[in-house]
Structure 1
Amino acid sequence: MPGQRAVGVGHNAGVVQTGHGAQAQVRVQQLAGAVTLRSPAAVPAPPGGLIGLPKPPTRSFVGRDAQLDELDRLVQAGAGVVAQAVHGLGGVGKSELALQYAHRHRGRYQVVWWVLADSPEAVEAGLAELAVRLHPDLGAVGTGQADAAGWATTWLGCRDGWLLVLDNVEARADVEALLSNAATGHVLITTRRDVGWQDITDGCLRLDVLTLPDAVALLLRLSGQTDTATAGVLARELGCLPLALQQAGAYLRQTRTRIGEYLQRMRSDPGAVLATVAIGDDAQRAVARTWSVTMDAITALDPLALRLLRLLACYAPEDLPRDVLALVGTPAAVDAALGVLVSYNMITLTGEAITTHRLVQAVTRSQMPHPAAQTPTGTDPARAPSPPPQPGTADDDARADILRAAIDLLCQAVPPANPEKDVAGWPRWTVLSPHVTALAEQCPDQIGELDLAWLLGQHATFEDSQGRYRQALPHKQRALAITETALGPDHPDTALRLDNLAVSLRALGRADEAEALRRRALAITETTLGPDHPDTALRLDNLAVTLRALGRAYEAEPLQRRALAITETTLGPDHPDTATRLANLAASLWALGRAYEAEPLERRALAITETTLGPDHPSTALRLDNLAVTLRDLGRADEAEPLQRRALAITETTLGPDHPDTATRLANLAASLRDLGRADEAEPLLRRALTITETTVGPDHPDTAAKLNNLAVTLRDLGRVDEAEPLQRRALAITETTLGPDHPDTATRLANLAVSLWDLGRADEAEPLQRRALTITETTLGPDHPDTALRLDNLAVTLRDLGRAEEAEPLEHRAAAIRNRRHR
């Protein structure tokens, strides 16, 4: 009959069906006899059941028991058709989880069928194959794929007791019709995409990477090796991603490669390693190949998403504030691109931060063109613009463009103020710090240029403020090398980099190296900016601080007086830098035994700092502590104690309980308590100070020696001289090695060890140490220094104890004369 669905048949050798949901029962004459096609409702499940899984589940399956239980809970809680979506990053083990579930619970179902569902055509093909398995006559008569798939969908809708796994679904639209027509049974969906599955399924399970212990267990099981420690490092490097662990484990077992060697290759060339599988394994299952398909799909949807992913690959895998990427495009465009990346589980996104899996970063970087490599070498308030890029290949330019953009975004994201003083900016720096480090590791000097140098310099200054001097040092060295290359050896910015590098060297106990850098920085600054510039005053003061650390406070004093005069004239008497100059001059006066002159300078420095920076600033704590040390030296430990407790509270709050400055505050408070006769209270403070110092600056640092010495003195006061002696010997060895045999601190260590030996009844051993201490002190601090008087007195006591009073008496007279002259 004519009409919209009319069928005109001439010569027909097949089957014609019309109408919605039409089914046919026909008999087709074949050589072997007649074939009857039955309706889906008339075809029962095979008597023995039907299991159609792509492969056996792996036996190396660890760390997913909780997820399997959760998946089972979701399935059992559903009613009617139960559809569950398992989504997550490619390679996280979604398909294996579904395979394990289907295999474990196959006894519940009459039919278990697996369909590769990464396209509509694949879904149709998988359903058509199911139809043929259920009703083989469909294949015998050559039923078309679409018709066979429709037959299977209708069959599923007629029955329960089946499990259909739709693996690797790319788009919701590819399976929505199937879910609506299959009214009973269980459907399990795996997908890389997080695109609102909760709207069409009964529950969603986001699959994450393995825990570290489970990842190590899997890697060791697959590789057949037993090196747990190295396996832990490699598992972290692989981000605990199951596919990467399986790829590595199979390769390690097959090639007999040691885990440590594989780890080295992974670090040097992750792209090649992640693309290499064991012989016989499916190359498509390599991590690099798995994600390259995803990246192609992302690029097709939104090219900006790929650019964002490449930028994210330049940073650390830790949380990156979303606002760092705000300038890449319009807010709407950036949000949309991030949404695409989230939908493929390539990133984790919150309202505030973005996190990218470390292997996603590694694969993304490996697929970007690489510029010619340059070995990286080795705080300025304003950044000089970088010179224009040099011409190169298109690939080089593309890679350089991403790196420069990543640097520029971070330069705009970090707080602009000096990180040493801008306490309010520290939380932001804490978040961005790992990203600066990661970017610096990837970016060659010739691409990053002065912008990179500025970023490294600012970051290193922040690291210094947190007491992380060792981490700051290589950043400063590299910033100096870049700046010298770009601007020349005599530029003011080069002087800045030299001076900042010297800060870390002095803090690390390498003041002798710092001195040369600071003299050069001072010469450049005086020549380029003039003898009366504030930066010249800064260089003078920093050089003086280094000289004092080297035991040459007498050389430091005139430099500091000049620096103070310049700063007061150019910046004013109440500027924070003026307070710094006053405090540093006071410290040199104290070192020279003139504590009475230091006190008024320290009180003025404290007043300025509290007014300009606030009562709770770390610099205020420093001023309080310095004043307290001077008061204690003047015999007023009762006045010092409350200042030191306040200083300690500020430092712990602003810098943390494990900062080197906290250790200094603890040690100085302990010294006052000891002077007040409360050595029992001082001991635990000193032990904590020693632990912090050894941890942060190392066991062989001069500051560690000072803490050892202070603890030993306290133990001696508590009558535990036998415990004090080994600490003092260790302190002396460190001080002689780091500061030299003729440093004032070496004299202090010698003298204190001698007192302990005297207490132990070994005055004959104490005498040569005291004589050496006296010689060093007279030479470095002068014949009229209070420490010289102390050394004379101690030697005299030892001589009397040895029965040589005639030798002791003139020493005692000389010591008394020094004290009388100083107190007139």
Structure 2
Amino acid sequence: MAVRVFLSYAHESDEHASIVRELWLLLRSCGVDAVWDGVAAQSRRDWALWMGDQVRAADFVLVIASAAYRERAEGRVVEGRGVQWEARLIRDAFYADQVRGIERFVPVVVPGQTVAGVPDFLAPASSTVYEVPSLTLPGVESLLRFLLDQPAEIEPPLGPVPEFGRPSVERLPAGSEVFVGRVDELARLEAAVASSGRAVVVAVHGLGGVGKSTLAARFARLHADRFSPTWWITADSPTALDAGLADLAAEVVPGELPSEQRADAAVRWLTGHDGWLLVLDNLTAPADAARLLARVRTGTIVITSRRGSGWRGLAESVALAVLSPAEALDLLERCVRVEWPDADLTGGAELCAELGFLPLAVEQAGAYLAQARITPTAYLDLLARFPARMFTATAEGGEAERTVARVWKVTLDRLADTPLAGDLLRIMAWFAPEAIPRHLFDVNPDHVAVVEALGRLAAHSMITLDRDTIAVHRLVQAVSRTSDPADPHRDADDISEALEVATDLLAHVLSGLDHENPEDRPVYRVLLPHARALLDRVEVDGLAACRVLDRIGRYLAGAGDTAGALAYHARAVRGMSVLVGEEHPETLVARCGLAVARMAAGDHGGAIESLRVLDADAARLLGPSHPDVLVVRHELALAYGLAGDHDQAIALSRAVLDDVVRIFGADHPRTLACRNNLAAMYQYVGDHDRAISVLETIVAEAGRSSGVDGHLTLTGRANLATALLKRDPHRAIPILEQVLEEVDRRYGSDNPNTLVCRNNLAGAYLEVDDLDRAISLFESVLVDRRRVLGDGHPDTRETEMILTLARRVRESGGPAGSGAPR
């Protein structure tokens, strides 16, 4: 009976699918009953049942390796449901019978792919992977021999056992550590060792606690039969390195030697022999091994170090990052279940994420969970309430110095001659971990000192640098902002000072930005996650924090995040009222921001009430003609208009416009903005001719002052087109289409300004009875307004109402005409 084989693969490209099809044809031509889904796809079927039937019926399942297959099988991406289902079936069967699973589920690497595409659960680093270099009979010979049970070699009978001298010399750390993942990293390490010249030197570097020593030990054990001797030296100081070499001499150099000669004798022995492996663990700096590396011309040396630079010309460099989320969770589960097999690990994924997927932190947490018999959720609670204790907590028998807090203290001790490095790390601890903009630190007058301090932090793997941004591991941040009297790098006063400096830096950069200026919006987007991270951690708002709250709140209101804007503005007003008083000019500005946020959220009545009180206070304190008072009245007029009190809005808009023209001039941006408001009021009351007249003046003056594509010009053109809808809709539509294209490019599709333009354009289509285009655009606007503004926002309700009416008009077969609402 023919061997039945099922091909499991990812449809990641036409080329890859074609290669799998050719393999299927080749196998069938060689008598293998291979099953390929391309045949089944020619008829309708329940794919989940079909896949289960094929996996169960097959003698062998060939897992075709590819990057997409691995990502989908390990659940790292959403797409590829078919592969995810197949992989789950395979994993379940593998788990049920692992001995049979090793033979039955066969990883295969076809042309164009690598072993890195094999999922971790098939253990590609420790089990056979069949590589098909070409889709020919010689190319598939080893796979066919396995499937057809036709081995190329038959074991000969055993001969007599020879007698040798002493066993090979080996010194490695105790092999109790749990090892997960790291398939790609092991492959890079093996590739570096394979590209040997006279001697092979590889430096594995990364953040303290990321698993460098574990990876080196795993490599040494996997290749125990390749090297002799295999010798491990803890090389965290020149003295320790010499002591480790002296111990090696005692094993490999005959006779007794004086202690001061043993290290040199070991080096001489290494230079005269080949086939050995020397691991220098936790080397502080490349210079500490320079003398050894200069003399050695044979063998293999693997170095682990936190130093990420300085290896050029000395060693092949292999950078080690944190674990993937799935690997970190696997590590946590293994660490716990060794001692607590039936542990409830609900919340494990969240705990691993909070620990930044750092292996040392995950192992530390796992040992604590197993000993204390608590859940990951309970550990997270302890971490939030007692961070200083949890960062140093170990299970019984654990090494106190092998905790995240202690490991990084060693690195900072080495950077003590650059105090600014520790200062910068504590400052960055208050920001988001990724993409911290380097220009935040430009305010420091000693720019060279900042560059050098960041460079040293990066060299010791405490941060990651690129040209414009900085990244800090989230757990490094958490430890750096948690005080510990026993750690000089985590002094409470220094941490408080770092928070003040971080807040001042944000406030300083934001003070030079205008949230309404399209050119400044990208900078706001970069700063937003860092402002949010800092503000979420501040317990008492200082004046600088209140300024950050006010600036970020204005940006959020303009970006459509009205809930965030309201929360930040309310907090800014509370803080400033306490710090400088309710009548201080900065508090008045913050109160105006809060009222505008209420207006953006659709609370027009609340906005009017707040602005009226603020108008009276500001006029009394600053004078009725003060620019800040005019801003308040400008916003109050707009609020009246949005609330439907058009007479009041027009009267106040005219009064504000007269004052603004008198103070700033006819073509000042504030004047143009006031005219825009006045034109909007005219439109609300149906005085379209007067609105059009005002808007044509605005477009002309704004074009002279800010250019044809300036912000004010765009606003004027959009409002002019809206006003024209009642008089000349065919002239209005091309203007609205051009404005929408530019606004979308400048602000993005979710910005409230863009949503208004899209809504107005849909109304223009409705005005000229182009119902299909109008309804289609209204439908997309409604979806986005619900998502961005919420169901209860007035703009959302307006779009929903117009869309309903437009659908009724289309169903009745009548024209929309001039009676269509907008």
TM-score, normalized by the shorter chain, greater than 0.5? yes
Partner of 2:63: none
Aligned counterparts, 1:391-790, within 5 A:
397-414=493-510, 416-420=512-516, 422-445=517-540, 448-449=542-543, 451-632=544-725, 634-719=726-811
Aligned counterparts, 1:109-188, within 5 A:
109-134=227-252, 138=256, 143-188=257-302
Partner of 1:209: 322
1:540, distance to aligned residue in structure 2 (A):
1.6
| Distance (whole Å) between structure 2 residues aligned to residue 648 and residue 572 of structure 1 | 30
| Aligned partners of 1:60 and 1:221 also within 8 Å | no
- Alignment pair present for 1:52 and 2:171: yes
- The 1:553–1:262 alpha-carbon spacing in structure 2 relative to 1, beyond 3 Å, is farther
Amino acid of the structure 2 residue aligned with 1:699:
D
| Distance (whole Å) between structure 2 residues aligned to residue 587 and residue 231 of structure 1 | 55
| Distance (whole Å) between structure 2 residues aligned to residue 618 and residue 551 of structure 1 | 26
Partner of 2:436: 320
1:563, distance to aligned residue in structure 2 (A):
1.2
- Alignment pair present for 1:333 and 2:449: yes
1:110, distance to aligned residue in structure 2 (A):
2.0
| Aligned partners of 1:128 and 1:149 also within 8 Å | yes
| Distance (whole Å) between structure 1 residues aligned to residue 724 and residue 420 of structure 2 | 63
Deviations 1:422-452 (A, max 9, x none): 3222222222222222333344546x32x33
Amino acid of the structure 2 residue aligned with 1:235:
C
| Aligned partners of 2:253 and 2:266 also within 8 Å | no
Aligned counterparts, 1:785-800, within 5 A:
none
1:341, distance to aligned residue in structure 2 (A):
0.9
- Of 530-539 and 288-297, more deviation after overlay is shown by 530-539
| Distance (whole Å) between structure 2 residues aligned to residue 182 and residue 606 of structure 1 | 77
- The 1:277–1:554 alpha-carbon spacing in structure 2 relative to 1, beyond 3 Å, is farther
| Distance (whole Å) between structure 1 residues aligned to residue 482 and residue 164 of structure 2 | 50
| Distance (whole Å) between structure 2 residues aligned to residue 283 and residue 82 of structure 1 | 34
Secondary structure of 2:520's partner?
helix
1:511, distance to aligned residue in structure 2 (A):
2.4
Amino acid of the structure 2 residue aligned with 1:405:
V
Aligned counterparts, 1:182-197, within 5 A:
182-197=296-311
| Distance (whole Å) between structure 1 residues aligned to residue 468 and residue 492 of structure 2 | 33
Partner of 1:11: none
Partner of 2:38: none
| Distance (whole Å) between structure 1 residues aligned to residue 221 and residue 679 of structure 2 | 78
- The 1:86–1:790 alpha-carbon spacing in structure 2 relative to 1, beyond 3 Å, is closer
| Aligned partners of 2:483 and 2:492 also within 8 Å | no
| Distance (whole Å) between structure 1 residues aligned to residue 820 and residue 426 of structure 2 | 66
| Aligned partners of 1:98 and 1:190 also within 8 Å | yes
1:248, distance to aligned residue in structure 2 (A):
2.2
| Aligned partners of 2:199 and 2:300 also within 8 Å | yes
| Aligned partners of 1:271 and 1:362 also within 8 Å | no
1:526, distance to aligned residue in structure 2 (A):
1.0
Secondary structure of 2:304's partner?
strand
- Alignment pair present for 1:235 and 2:352: yes
- Of 602-611 and 84-93, more deviation after overlay is shown by 602-611
1:484, distance to aligned residue in structure 2 (A):
1.5
- The 1:585–1:306 alpha-carbon spacing in structure 2 relative to 1, beyond 3 Å, is same
| Distance (whole Å) between structure 1 residues aligned to residue 595 and residue 259 of structure 2 | 76
| Aligned partners of 2:355 and 2:361 also within 8 Å | yes
| Aligned partners of 2:347 and 2:375 also within 8 Å | no
Secondary structure of 2:279's partner?
strand
| Aligned partners of 1:251 and 1:277 also within 8 Å | yes
Over the matched positions of the two proteins, sequence identity in percent amounts to 34
Among 409, 412, 422, the residue aligned to 1:295: 412
- The 1:719–1:409 alpha-carbon spacing in structure 2 relative to 1, beyond 3 Å, is same
Amino acid of the structure 2 residue aligned with 1:687:
E
- Could you list the runs of 5+ residues in structure 2 that have no partner in the other structure? 1-162
Amino acid of the structure 2 residue aligned with 1:237:
E
Partner of 1:256: 373
Alignment TM-score, normalising by the size of structure 1: 0.74
| Distance (whole Å) between structure 1 residues aligned to residue 190 and residue 624 of structure 2 | 78
Amino acid of the structure 2 residue aligned with 1:523:
A
1:597, distance to aligned residue in structure 2 (A):
2.9
Secondary structure of 1:285's partner?
coil
- Alignment pair present for 1:344 and 2:344: no
Partner of 2:200: 82
Amino acid of the structure 1 residue aligned with 2:773:
E
Secondary structure of 1:278's partner?
coil
Amino acid of the structure 1 residue aligned with 2:376:
I
1:192, distance to aligned residue in structure 2 (A):
0.4
1:417, distance to aligned residue in structure 2 (A):
4.1
| Aligned partners of 1:576 and 1:608 also within 8 Å | no
Amino acid of the structure 1 residue aligned with 2:207:
L
Partner of 2:15: none
Partner of 1:783: none
1:57, distance to aligned residue in structure 2 (A):
5.7
User: For the aligned residues, what is the CA RMSD?
Assistant: 3.0
Aligned counterparts, 1:15-94, within 5 A:
47-56=166-175, 58-62=177-181, 64-94=182-212
1:158, distance to aligned residue in structure 2 (A):
1.7
- The 1:46–1:179 alpha-carbon spacing in structure 2 relative to 1, beyond 3 Å, is farther
Secondary structure of 1:513's partner?
helix
- Alignment pair present for 1:104 and 2:209: no
| Distance (whole Å) between structure 2 residues aligned to residue 415 and residue 524 of structure 1 | 24
- Alignment pair present for 1:218 and 2:335: no
| Distance (whole Å) between structure 2 residues aligned to residue 334 and residue 199 of structure 1 | 28
1:113, distance to aligned residue in structure 2 (A):
1.2
Bigger Rg over Cα: 1
- Of 520-529 and 552-561, more deviation after overlay is shown by 552-561
Alignment TM-score, normalising by the size of structure 2: 0.74
1:671, distance to aligned residue in structure 2 (A):
1.3
Secondary structure of 1:90's partner?
coil
| Distance (whole Å) between structure 1 residues aligned to residue 662 and residue 764 of structure 2 | 37
- Alignment pair present for 1:355 and 2:471: yes
- Of 345-354 and 66-75, more deviation after overlay is shown by 345-354
Partner of 2:129: none
Among 391, 394, 397, the residue aligned to 1:274: 391
Structure having the higher helix fraction is 1
Amino acid of the structure 1 residue aligned with 2:390:
V
Partner of 1:809: none
Amino acid of the structure 2 residue aligned with 1:238:
L
Partner of 1:773: none
Amino acid of the structure 2 residue aligned with 1:321:
P
Deviations 1:514-570 (A, max 9, x none): 222212211111111222333322212211222233333333222222111211211
| Distance (whole Å) between structure 1 residues aligned to residue 466 and residue 278 of structure 2 | 33
Secondary structure of 1:657's partner?
coil
1:82, distance to aligned residue in structure 2 (A):
0.7
1:207, distance to aligned residue in structure 2 (A):
0.9
